[in-house]
Amino acid sequence: MSDKSKILIYGAEWCAFCHMAMHYLDDKKISYKYIDIDTDPKYAQEAVEKSNQRGIPVIDLDGDIIIGFDRPKIDASLKAHQLV
């Protein structure tokens, strides 16, 4: 992944879809930063501000906001940012 590209996954340890999203990127050997919204309220607020909703995971893929584990949207964004 280039230094300019950043992937953030806002999630929680109890969230199965969060783990699915992380495993999906792990399988593709794509690095990301996991942010546990339960560790600090500011992270939960940050996720809400980016997504305009309260569900998780919220994936910030270099500015593309993807709500939930949506493989087609993740794949499209990875291709658009030339990460695959």
Residue 1 lies in a domain: no
Residue 14 lies in a domain: yes
Q: How many domains would you assign to the chain?
A: 1
Q: Over the stretch 32-73, which tens digit does the pLDDT of each residue have?
A: 999 999 999 899 999 999 999 999 999 999 999 999 999 999
Q: Residue 5's pLDDT is what? A: 57
Q: Which domain holds residue 43?
A: 7-80
Q: Residue 72's pLDDT is what? A: 98
Using alpha carbons, select from 22, 41, 40 the residue that is nearest to residue 32: 22
Q: Are 25 and 57 in contact (CB under 8 A)?
A: no
Q: What is the CATH number of the domain that holds 37?
A: 3.40.30.10
Which segments of the chain are extended strands (E)? Answer: 7-11, 33-36, 58-61, 64-67
Residue 39 lies in a domain: yes
Query: CA–CA separation, 29 vs 16, rounded Å?
Result: 20
Using alpha carbons, select from 71, 60, 65, 83 the residue that is nearest to residue 23: 71
Q: Over the stretch 3-17, which tens digit does the pLDDT of each residue have?
A: 445 999 999 999 999
pTM of this structure: 0.91
Q: Residue 18's pLDDT is what? A: 98
Residue 26 lies in a domain: yes
Residue 71 lies in a domain: yes
